Chain A
Amino acid sequence: MDLSQYAELFLAESREHLSACNQLLLEWERNPAAAEPVGGLFRAVHTIKGMAATMGYGRVADLAHRMENLLDHLRRSGHAPAEDIIQLLFRATDALEKVVGLAVAGREREADLAILADIDRAAVQAKPAPQPSALARHFVASPEPPESPGGPTAPAPSLGSGLLIAVVIRPEAPLKGGRAMLVVRKLQALGTVRRVQPPPAAFESDDFDGRFVVELDTAVAAPDIETAVRSVGDVEGVSLGGGTDEGQVSPAESAAGGAGEKGRGRHIRVDLRRLDTLMDLIGELVTERGRLNELAARWVGKDPEIDDVAIHVSRLASDLQNEIIQARMTPVWQVFDRFPRLVRDVARQLGKQVAFRVEGKEIELDRQILDELGDPLMHLLRNAVDHGIEPPAERKRHKKNPEGEIVLAAVRERSSVAISISDNGRGIDRAQILEKAKREGVLGPHVESLSDDQLLRVIARPGFSTAESVTAVSGRGVGIDVAMTRIRALGGSIEIRTEPGKGTAFVLRLPVTLAIVRALIAAVGHERYALPLTYVAETVEFGTTPLTTMEGKDAIVLRDRVVPLVDLRKLLGTNGGAPAPPPRRPVIVLEMGERRAGIVVDGMLSQQEIVVKAFDAPQGTLPVFSGATIMGDGVPALILDAAGLV
């Protein structure tokens, strides 16, 4: 059986369970007396074990098995776990995550499983006092299984008068006790089982060797009994010796129970690449739709029906497009769920007390955007714990709750999603930033104060850090500039609000989807280029505004601000088949936060929705394209990346 086809499913589902483990451990750490987390943890680890064994990932299965063992002991002991046990489980979860990743990559042997010894030691300590299992208790009380209610629990008239059936289960069979129990059940259907030796409680033990004897009162002929026993499977041998009554299981009342979950949506997993392909195909369909409309306009005089068909096809194509965009949407919790653990770990490391809250988990974003968002959010959260939240003693001095608060919230806005990371910590010291910025020459000596926007630009400069000492957590001055670059690359923006003593908030705004954007189509000669409207601030005509230079480059003065110019002809080194530019050329002013640039083109053609296609730029391509799209006439056009131009 080819297992590789299941590897991705294994990885995706294991990650979900690992994420659940972290959530449950956090819950357990907050409330060690709670009974629910250990059950959930046990199930999650158990599921990973089963899947890993099936995939043949021995080390994953082994680690999961030992964790499961420890959890089982903890579950049955019913005591609140010691602090160090929870820490051990956190580490074990991390180790499991690592080995899962390695296993899928075919590098399971590289896994470091030093933690196994610690887990085993803890499991031995956690082992509860032995007590008879439910089954053992049951067999002491009655020779009949409880699941045959109403069945005869007839007192045995005389022991030793029945037929003795000796059975040996194949030595290599797994779970021989289970197989033995099936034999006993089979025989119960043929007569009255008077005795089982060893008693069925022994079947539960892993030491059970698969040999047992059943004493049966029955009218069934010996060969039929042997056939029945062998039909159970994995039976090595049966021998009958030496004894009438019939036991039957009466049907129980068919009780209706179990609440349905009809309200729950039905889900299947779909490979993201499939959705991308679907999106591409729909993009092509949209393109063909454009051509069909043109044809229809030409033929409508001859047969008006063609117009109806064209309109209908148009509508269907739009509906399809919307559906596929919806299918790419993923709730943010898929990324947010790992942050409670992160914040906790960082806070512990730094000796801070932090209550972390997540809001708007169900808000959806395009899968591709969400995937890219994890790292920037991680940076910002680390910063919030490290620089935002004060140490408990300092908070007390300022009459604040020693436990700080960080909130990660997602809110749907009109055509974007806003994600905020806010803390109620000390806020950013503007005076200190200003002073440092002047000292480093980032700002001129005459600047008196910083607006929020200026502040962000200063702290987002690569290498800029005000942390007095560099900690392992943050303060290396990489956090915010990395986060900002990423967010911008996704077509998003980032804002900061901060108030001394009250706290700091970063707000990220992201497009809901990357797949379709409204764009301005500009021309250079006969070539067309698309500029996403998100960043188009305005357009002016070249030559109608004062010209100047800025750092040696051409610029225009627009409402007292100097805007550097980029001539697309020169930048791209093309004339688009028209050697001379037209006499009147438009300037498209792009704006990203505080930065602006004017793009000089030959003409502006239209505004339209374009389907964005990923674009594998050949080496040496200017870093100013973010993708490509197909225009209505089937000719491709490149999409200009505002971040690369401004």
Chain B
Amino acid sequence: MSHTVLVCDDAIFMRTMISDILGQAGFEVVGEAETGTQAVEKYRQLKPDLVTMDIVMPDMGGIDAVREIVKQDPDAKILMCSAMGQQALVVEAIQAGAKDFVVKPFQPSRVLEAVQRVLG
């Protein structure tokens, strides 16, 4: 059975691209969220095997969403999607419980490696 994924990013562009990369690798994208609040809510509803999480999102940011999700499920597997220059935020997200991170611009191979590490 393929792994289920929840993709969280405020940009449709990014969600589309991540979904394409993961979809082509055989993952099943079961949900998308465009704010941290939605991410937390959808995680609870969908219980996905993996979450990809943007750091900067309106409403509730990605790091706070990681905290909330990890509070619900300490085993949650969350992959941060960050940009160059976000070192401090990435460090904070990992402190909050994120399992790995990828840096934009995404290379599909690096995304898939990170996903394997998180799920492995």
- Chain A residues at the B interface, C-beta cutoff of 8 Å: 1, 6, 9-10, 13, 40, 42-43, 46-47, 49-51, 53-56, 65, 133-135, 145-147, 174-178, 181-182, 185, 200, 203-206, 208, 231-233, 249, 251-261, 269
Interfacial chain B residues near A53, Cβ < 8 Å: 83-84, 104-105
B interface residue count range (under 10 / 10 to 19 / 20 to 34 / 35 or more) = 35 or more
Interfacial chain A residues near B56, Cβ < 8 Å: 42-43, 46-47
Check if B57 sits within 8 Å of A6, measured CB to CB. Answer: no
Residue of A nearest to B101 (CB): A178
Check if B105 sits within 8 Å of A54, measured CB to CB. Answer: yes
Check if A13 sits within 8 Å of B13, measured CB to CB. Answer: yes
Say which residue of A9, A49, A50, A146 sits within 8 Å of B16 (CB atoms).
A9
Q: Tell me if B30 counts as interface (CB < 8 A to partner A).
A: no
Say which residue of B12, B70, B90 sits within 8 Å of A178 (CB atoms).
B90
CA distance A146 to B71 in the complex (A): 12
Check if B41 sits within 8 Å of A258, measured CB to CB. Answer: yes
Check if B57 sits within 8 Å of A54, measured CB to CB. Answer: no
With A51-B13, A135-B88, A258-B40 in contact, do A251 and B74 touch (Cβ < 8 Å)? yes
Check if A147 sits within 8 Å of B87, measured CB to CB. Answer: no
With A175-B103, A256-B72, A260-B41 in contact, do A10 and B91 touch (Cβ < 8 Å)? no
Interfacial chain B residues near A145, Cβ < 8 Å: 95
Check if B72 sits within 8 Å of A13, measured CB to CB. Answer: no
Shortest beta-carbon contacts, A-B, top 7: A178-B90, A204-B88, A258-B40, A54-B105, A174-B103, A181-B94, A53-B105
Check if B91 sits within 8 Å of A204, measured CB to CB. Answer: yes
Check if A204 sits within 8 Å of B87, measured CB to CB. Answer: yes
B14-58 CB contact bits vs A (8 Å, 1 = yes)? 101100010000000000000101101100100000000010111
* Extra 11 A-B pairs, beta carbons < 8 Å, given A1-B21, A51-B14: A6-B13, A13-B11, A50-B54, A53-B105, A134-B92, A178-B87, A178-B94, A206-B87, A254-B71, A259-B41, A261-B38
Check if A147 sits within 8 Å of B67, measured CB to CB. Answer: yes
CA distance A205 to B90 in the complex (A): 11
CA distance A472 to B90 in the complex (A): 49
With A147-B97, A175-B101, A182-B94 in contact, do A65 and B85 touch (Cβ < 8 Å)? yes
Interfacial chain A residues near B117, Cβ < 8 Å: 231-233
Within 8 A of A (CB), among B89-119: 90-97, 99-101, 103-108, 113-114, 117
Q: Tell me if B82 counts as interface (CB < 8 A to partner A).
A: yes
Say which residue of B68, B71, B91 sits within 8 Å of A181 (CB atoms).
B91
Say which residue of A182, A253, A257 sits within 8 Å of B68 (CB atoms).
A257
CB distance from B76 to the nearest CB of A (A): 11
Interfacial chain B residues near A9, Cβ < 8 Å: 12-13, 16
- Chain B residues at the A interface, C-beta cutoff of 8 Å: 10-14, 16-17, 21, 35, 37-38, 40-41, 44, 54, 56-58, 60, 67-68, 70-74, 80, 82-88, 90-97, 99-101, 103-108, 113-114, 117, 120
Listed residue (A13, A252, A257) with the most chain B CB atoms within 10 angstroms of its CB = A257
Check if B14 sits within 8 Å of A50, measured CB to CB. Answer: yes
Interfacial chain A residues near B73, Cβ < 8 Å: 254
CB distance from A571 to the nearest CB of B (A): 49
Interfacial chain B residues near A200, Cβ < 8 Å: 91
Interfacial chain B residues near A205, Cβ < 8 Å: 87-88
17 A–B contact pairs at CB < 8 A?
A: A6-B16, A47-B14, A50-B83, A50-B104, A51-B14, A54-B14, A54-B17, A56-B105, A65-B85, A135-B92, A175-B82, A178-B93, A204-B88, A208-B87, A233-B100, A258-B68, A259-B37
CA distance A10 to B40 in the complex (A): 26
CA distance A43 to B114 in the complex (A): 25
CB distance from A15 to the nearest CB of B (A): 12
CA distance A135 to B56 in the complex (A): 18
Say which residue of A10, A133, A254 sits within 8 Å of B88 (CB atoms).
A133
Listed residue (A6, A56, A176, A231) with the most chain B CB atoms within 10 angstroms of its CB = A6
CA distance A251 to B72 in the complex (A): 9
Listed residue (B11, B54, B60, B108) with the most chain A CB atoms within 10 angstroms of its CB = B11
With A147-B97, A177-B91, A232-B117 in contact, do A1 and B12 touch (Cβ < 8 Å)? no
Check if A50 sits within 8 Å of B92, measured CB to CB. Answer: no
Listed residue (B21, B87, B92) with the most chain A CB atoms within 10 angstroms of its CB = B87
